[in-house]
Structure 1
Amino acid sequence: MDWLRAVQQLRDNREPGVLVTVIEVRGHAPREAGAKMVVSREASWGSVGGGNLEATAVARAREMMSSGAAGPQTCELQLNPHAHTEHGRQCCGGSVRMLLEPLAVRPVVALFGIGHVGYELARILSRLPVQLLLVDSRAEQLDR
């Protein structure tokens, strides 16, 4: 599954995630600027380069999800045999800067009673990035 479908799957399942993008490469690195990866609490899709670089990106992304971070963060790693990091060494010789963007979980809006006012509210809310739940004891009100 590619990273774009992973984003959609996380949204559909109402699960948090983080989109990781390589935004700058200086010197040698395993991937070029623009490489992307999506990280969820238990999986990842795509790749930003493997090894220490990717392990660091996954760990930071999961820290962001755990802390409830709402804004993007950047992270820069040196990829040389002398740079000591939490996940080992990577000896490409360059440096990589990554952007980590939280993927917001769509809020759920439940609308009870789909009469003339509820219907208009539903039309307005259907244009927003929310999961809309319509509830009415009259089945015919939900058909339209």
Structure 2
Amino acid sequence: MKIWHHIAKALEAGEPCAMVSVLKVDGSAPREVGARLVLTQRGFHGTIGGGALEWRALAEAQKKLKGGRSLTVTSHALGPELGQCCGGRVELLTEIFDGTGLADARTLADAEKSGAFATESRLRSDHVVRSIVSAGSSAKDVMIEHFGEEKRPLYLFGSGHVGRALVLALAPLPFAIRWIDTRPNAFPAAMPANVEPVATSDPVAELTAAPDRTFLLVMTHSHALDLAIVEQALRDDRFPYVGLIGSASKRARFLSRLRQAGIADERLAALKCPIGVPGIASKEPAVIAAATVAELLERDEMLRTRRNLPAGVQTPYTMSQKKGQGG
């Protein structure tokens, strides 16, 4: 969520607003450090975890909105104080912004447009002084905050029924989608903001400029084109996830042809076919999309946190029995 966009918008309208941030967590809590919400006179955006903690924080921030610029740090025992089952303790930072913070809010909102960024942040008596930085600081009186969204690049080849369902399912999630098809009239007239449609006669060539660690989903109207894209993707050891829509028989044919083309078994491990989390047999496009989005989120989190694949994750050699998805 673009936190500073909402803050700047409220201040430009001459209205005060509040930001509540999770500053510290001990034990179990609904959200992690850095989770935030913004309260304006028209409602709120974001969440610090819902439940009693969030409603308490919103009520306290609402009371302070008309009192001018301020800063408050509060500590909350989730079990004894709020009756939440999490049982941990959460420290919240509540900031009230007025017109004096508009210039800084605009600067941070502009940075937010470009994606993720960090700030060195110093707590003062009634506000936080933030400076955008490219690396962390070792100063004792400085905390590092992270804002904006770091989106995983995802190349989606094919604008059929499943492709369209995937684009809708991925719309609110942290993926930057390049949607590729050979047919210029195959795309819908309207699409989500995180999607860039590309009509090209050479989809395989799109892989050359793809950023490292891009996820790929292949579901074109042509098996021959699917194979060409997958082969090129596996030759280039930069793509940690190469998903191919299809059945077990399609997977077997592709693996055979890829081996014949000289693709090593260790690279074949990056190929996922059928796509999606196991245990879902429906071939409905929206269902395939939901299962696939769950898998993409899991793989993305694994790469970001560097944790290993859990036992039982499907690879070309440990596939669960899953009926085909067409193709």
2:40 maps to 1:40: yes
- One-letter amino acid of the structure 1 residue matched with residue 75 of structure 2: E
2:90 maps to 1:91: no
Q: Secondary structure at the match of 1:28?
A: coil
- One-letter amino acid of the structure 1 residue matched with residue 54 of structure 2: E
User: Which has more radius of gyration?
Assistant: 2
Deviations 1:40-89 (A, max 9, x none): 234111111101111011011111113x1422001211111xx244xxx2
Higher helix share: 2
Tell me how far apart the structure 2 counterparts of residues 30 and 57 of structure 1 sit (CA, whole Å): 14
Tell me how far apart the structure 2 counterparts of residues 27 and 61 of structure 1 sit (CA, whole Å): 25
Corresponding residue for residue 23 of structure 1:
23
Confirm or deny: 8 A CA contact 1:10 1:16 kept in the other structure.
yes
Scaled by the length of structure 1, the TM-score of the pair is: 0.64
2:65 maps to 1:71: no
Q: Secondary structure at the match of 2:85?
A: coil
Q: Secondary structure at the match of 1:32?
A: coil
Tell me how far apart the structure 2 counterparts of residues 102 and 84 of structure 1 sit (CA, whole Å): 24
Q: Secondary structure at the match of 2:61?
A: helix
Deviations 1:5-56 (A, max 9, x none): 2112112211100111100000000101111111123411111110111101
Tell me how far apart the structure 1 counterparts of residues 52 and 2 of structure 2 sit (CA, whole Å): 21
Match 1:102 to one of 96, 103, 108? 96
- One-letter amino acid of the structure 2 residue matched with residue 73 of structure 1: T
Percent identity, aligned pairs only? 33
Q: For residues 104 and 69 of structure 1, do their structure 2 counterparts lie closer, same or farther at Cα, with a shift above 3 Å needed? A: closer
Higher strand share: 1
- One-letter amino acid of the structure 2 residue matched with residue 75 of structure 1: T
Corresponding residue for residue 116 of structure 1:
none
Cα RMSD for the two superposed structures: 2.1
Confirm or deny: 8 A CA contact 1:2 1:46 kept in the other structure.
no
Q: Secondary structure at the match of 1:33?
A: coil
Deviations 1:91-132 (A, max 9, x none): 11101000001111259xxxxxxxxxxxxxxxxxxxx94xxx
> Higher RCO, 1 or 2 (CA under 8 Å, sep at least 6)?
1
Confirm or deny: 8 A CA contact 1:14 1:106 kept in the other structure.
no
Tell me how far apart the structure 2 counterparts of residues 93 and 3 of structure 1 sit (CA, whole Å): 28
Q: Secondary structure at the match of 1:31?
A: coil
Q: Secondary structure at the match of 1:30?
A: coil
- One-letter amino acid of the structure 1 residue matched with residue 5 of structure 2: R
For 1:45-56, what aligned pairs fall within 5 Å after superposition?
45-56=45-56
- One-letter amino acid of the structure 2 residue matched with residue 76 of structure 1: S
Query: Which blocks of at least 5 consecutive residues in structure 2 are unaligned?
Result: 104-327
Query: Which blocks of at least 5 consecutive residues in structure 1 are unaligned?
Result: 108-127, 130-144
Tell me the matched-pair count.
Answer: 103
Confirm or deny: 8 A CA contact 1:18 1:101 kept in the other structure.
yes
Tell me how far apart the structure 1 counterparts of residues 81 and 11 of structure 2 sit (CA, whole Å): 36
- One-letter amino acid of the structure 2 residue matched with residue 29 of structure 1: A
Q: For residues 3 and 32 of structure 1, do their structure 2 counterparts lie closer, same or farther at Cα, with a shift above 3 Å needed? A: same
Corresponding residue for residue 142 of structure 1:
none
